[in-house]
Amino acid sequence: MEVCFFLIGHGAPARDAQHADLARLEAASQDTEGLRRFAIHVPAESHDCDPLSKTNAAARPRCVLQWYFDELELLEQALRPGSAMHDITDGSSNTGLTFTQQTMAVRKYATRDPGVPAARVERCTYLVSYEGEARDFNAWLTHYLAHHPPLMAQLPGIRELEIYTRLDCRSGLRAERAMAMQRNKVVFDDPASLAAALASPVRASMKRDFDAFPPYSGATLHFPMRSIYGNLKPK
């Protein structure tokens, strides 16, 4: 199963630092051995994409990096001391960001029109994280995977759909570990496409299923993001 490393940056970035940070993240992604693909996310305007979201703006990450590997061992090698990832996290004091890290297993679902794969493409992503705990995680995941992805895949204009669950990983990074129980991602061409999908009747069906989830306590955070996606050739 494919594994995904999340590096999540919170805080107020240094003035005019966002473009430089994106360039550093993309350069590190292009230069990491064994990395198959990556995504870099920065906040989109939530009122343009999802006016119904109740997520506190202060909880929104300032950037999220996703690194995808075919094997866990390849990821662990990329997180060893002296790696490009260390250059990013060790320099966080210069960016004004504080990073957390999490490794997760990837479940990728088919969508009606994923589009033509490209070496680099800019899109709009809706990231979701379940920060608490289910009373019975097996019951939660069994229900969720059986019912929610088929609804999400019906969102008009959806390009990608992935669901992530926790995975233990060795890491040489000093960044604190995030402990989200589950994360999800749906991808669209642009903010207008995301807004149209979230205003569609499919979302009402998703809300009804959400209300039927097995018992869960904790925050469910939703973040509309502007994203760069990259597919890498094997080195």
**13 pLDDT more than 80:** no
Q: Which residue has the tokens 């939703």?
A: 222
More confident residue, 208 or 27: 208
Question: What is the pLDDT of the chain when averaged over all its residues?
Answer: 89
What is the percent of the chain where pLDDT is above 90? 69
Going by C-alpha positions, the residue among 198, 41, 218, 62 that lies closest to residue 125 is 41
pLDDT at 128: 96
Instruction: Enter the pTM of the model.
Output: 0.92
Bridge partner list, 227: 41, 123
pLDDT at 143: 97
Going by C-alpha positions, the residue among 145, 144, 126, 147 that lies closest to residue 191 is 126
**15 pLDDT more than 60:** no
More confident residue, 60 or 90: 60
**19 pLDDT more than 80:** no
H or E element: which one contains 41?
A: strand 37-43
Banded model confidence at residue 117, pLDDT cuts 50, 70, 90: confident
More confident residue, 146 or 26: 146
Name the residue type at position 151: L
Name the residue type at position 9: G
Question: Which range scores top for mean pLDDT: 7-16, 46-55, 160-169?
Answer: 160-169
**180 pLDDT more than 70:** yes
- Structural domains of the chain sorted by starting position, each given as residue range(s) with its CATH number in brackets: 3-231 (3.30.70.100)
Six-digit token pair at 222?
A: 């939703």
More confident residue, 58 or 179: 179
pLDDT at 55: 67
pLDDT at 72: 97
What is the percent of the chain where pLDDT is above 70? 89
pLDDT at 88: 80
pLDDT at 132: 92
